[in-house]
Structure 1
């Protein structure tokens, strides 16, 4: 039991170290922080208050929602109390029977607060009502009604914007936990699988990648975050993808690829991060969104290929089996890209691979017979 717990703790520490070392997490969040920001620059966040309200956490939005209404009710309640006091309407002022109040049945701070709440929320129980005797009270009810409408529109807009955020739609687009390197159509390719978990299409989908690594220039300059473009294609091209079913993205490892100098025994010793982007527009809401994920060297398997997940039934319907989405099978693959292009027959059959609980390795002989779309 203690050995099992020790292995779990070690695995947790390794995964935590990986998360700290990467710029983009697997779910697309950017792992970066800003320091020494001038105080004057922080005021720009208040100037762009709409974006600030939309981007803050839900707990703060709900707190500001409750506080804005409660505070406005209380402030206007104090103003109604002040008007009633100046007119002699309060109970402790002992108004006469012939006295005409500014607001009926407002005789203290509590009743003034209740009248303010009823006015701004347009409840109107009928117990308290404004009289035309005080011009200041008429002006105050106009001001409170206008300000209350502004608060309603603003807070409802913030909540609606957060609920309909394109980031929520991006949660239903999933990338494979690992990338694989294997032959594809006569070339050595790095492959990644992506799936749209909803039946609604993503319009104008575009896939591209960035390889982030630390490089050293001949002048001795160190570039911490050097970015190299990584092109991905599918069988139908790379732009305006028909994203109706899971797609497998391919990056050709040729002489222009940064992966050309890597090999099966040196890949996991490299220090880089492959960030993959999917830009698309949701068909149902017409909102543009971007989905991101990243792969570090330990998350790239050399000598494996994804299992097919699309089949067609006897009735002619297409079926997507998501149980095979994260399953791979070993295939004969060259030790390095140079070997693949220059030394024929020099292949490496990677049956052992690297331990990863998110990927299930299936032997080729055990794969079910499926018909690819």
Structure 2
């Protein structure tokens, strides 16, 4: 497979809307299945670690029997984690088993009392009146535990043990109903279902923002009751080989996301753009344009907040791979003021809409080096044009000293009656009183 991957040449092309796409070559044989997987966003032939819905593709193998028994010790949480089809079966069969067990106990009690041998004896007082078969006792067990009381069957206190058994079954029935109903309520009200009304953009965009190369995604909340104290962060997952040759197939690196200048805090009153600056602290800093499309990494974006109504913590997550990254685009504005009703409105039809924007096809490191060299060149030219005059704190405005003047002249450091907060870059347009004060203090001639 590695050989097949190395033989793949991904040709890039531009679509009609300007998006950068990957054109996978046609192939046959073993490479054909690999290319098909890559078309679907697979990372080196493997599916994404996290689905778009936030579910993980992780299974556990090799668990010992003792480790499996630990799930039974935390039975309540185990039941909550069950899928709904299994949870429904557990709910139904638990009640049925309890009904059946107590029906067997009632049958044993009636059998020991001799009720079935005296079915035709009119003077006989049975434990359960009118119960002649096991089906009758099963119906009586259901009536007793659910307190229905049809009146068809009823116990006689003259039968020893009947009163105690009725008390035990009703007590067990109340306890069982409390546990199972509580289990269903917790399962229905789990905070993870809140994530279905939290939206992530379908694409992750790379564009230039305030001179920095940035990765941007858009998030939104469909509910009016927004999450409280919401924060965001990202995880960069890729393969890593240490200096000692140790391979980490799913190596995690933190990615910082911020909305505007709120750092990792997210105020979800309206849809926001989460921005990750590709700087020295970013795992994407040295990744070039071609490496961004190499399908060898995954970005997991996580939103965490507190549900206002219940106070429970909710987490929503999604993932982006190379097929989800669009270079040189930014999100269109979807917030506008509605003059008709006097409110700000968010048009979710534009939630995933993007527009092209000029973006250099280079890594963040290359962009920083280019801008760094450009800024140093501009600074040198500016210093040369100013003739050596430069910024100076306090009121000292000095000119470059030659070797001769530096040996003969000593700066005057007497207390000055006038102190200027900041010196200018040149003398042009400077007020005459400032010049006169400078001559008096022998700062310059």
| Shorter-chain TM-score tier | 0.7 to 0.9
The structure having more radius of gyration, on CA atoms, is 2
Give the aligned partner of residue 408 of structure 2. Answer: none
Change (3 A) 1:164 1:117: same
Give the aligned partner of residue 86 of structure 2. Answer: 60
**Pairwise mapping of residues 1-373 of structure 1 onto structure 2 (< 5 A)?**
14-15=40-41, 20-90=46-116, 93-269=118-294, 271-314=296-339, 315-336=341-362, 337-343=364-370
Cα offsets for 1:226-258 (capped at 9, x unmatched):
211100001141344221111110011112222
In 1, Cα distance between the equivalents of 2:299 and 2:93? 44
SS of residue in 2 equivalent to 1:269? coil
Q: Which runs of 5+ in 1 are unaligned?
A: 1-8, 345-373
In 1, Cα distance between the equivalents of 2:287 and 2:41? 24
**Matched-pair contact (CA < 8 Å) for 2:201–2:352:** yes
Aligned pair count? 338
Structure 1 range deviating more: 93-102 or 243-252 = 93-102
**Matched-pair contact (CA < 8 Å) for 2:71–2:78:** yes
In 2, Cα distance between the equivalents of 1:72 and 1:299? 52
In 1, Cα distance between the equivalents of 2:248 and 2:39? 28
In 1, Cα distance between the equivalents of 2:142 and 2:45? 49
**Matched-pair contact (CA < 8 Å) for 2:233–2:256:** yes
**Matched-pair contact (CA < 8 Å) for 2:328–2:358:** yes
Cα offsets for 1:247-294 (capped at 9, x unmatched):
110011112222121222331125111111111111122211111111
Q: TM-score, normalised by structure 1?
A: 0.85
In 1, Cα distance between the equivalents of 2:285 and 2:99? 67
Give, in angstroms, the shift of residue 187 of structure 1.
Answer: 2.0
**Matched-pair contact (CA < 8 Å) for 2:37–2:45:** no
Change (3 A) 1:63 1:100: same
**Matched-pair contact (CA < 8 Å) for 2:240–2:247:** yes
Cα offsets for 1:123-151 (capped at 9, x unmatched):
00122222211231111111111111121
**Matched-pair contact (CA < 8 Å) for 1:20–1:31:** no
Q: TM-score, normalised by structure 2?
A: 0.71
In 1, Cα distance between the equivalents of 2:343 and 2:350? 18
In 1, Cα distance between the equivalents of 2:38 and 2:237? 25
In 2, Cα distance between the equivalents of 1:106 and 1:94? 9
Cα offsets for 1:22-59 (capped at 9, x unmatched):
21111111111222111221111111111111111111
Give the aligned partner of residue 352 of structure 1. Answer: none
Name the Cα RMSD after superposition. 2.4
Give, in angstroms, the shift of residue 13 of structure 1.
Answer: 6.7
Give, in angstroms, the shift of residue 19 of structure 1.
Answer: 9.2
Cα offsets for 1:88-135 (capped at 9, x unmatched):
323x53353222222222222121111111000110012222221123
Give, in angstroms, the shift of residue 339 of structure 1.
Answer: 4.3
In 1, Cα distance between the equivalents of 2:248 and 2:36? 32
Give, in angstroms, the shift of residue 15 of structure 1.
Answer: 4.8
Give, in angstroms, the shift of residue 20 of structure 1.
Answer: 4.0
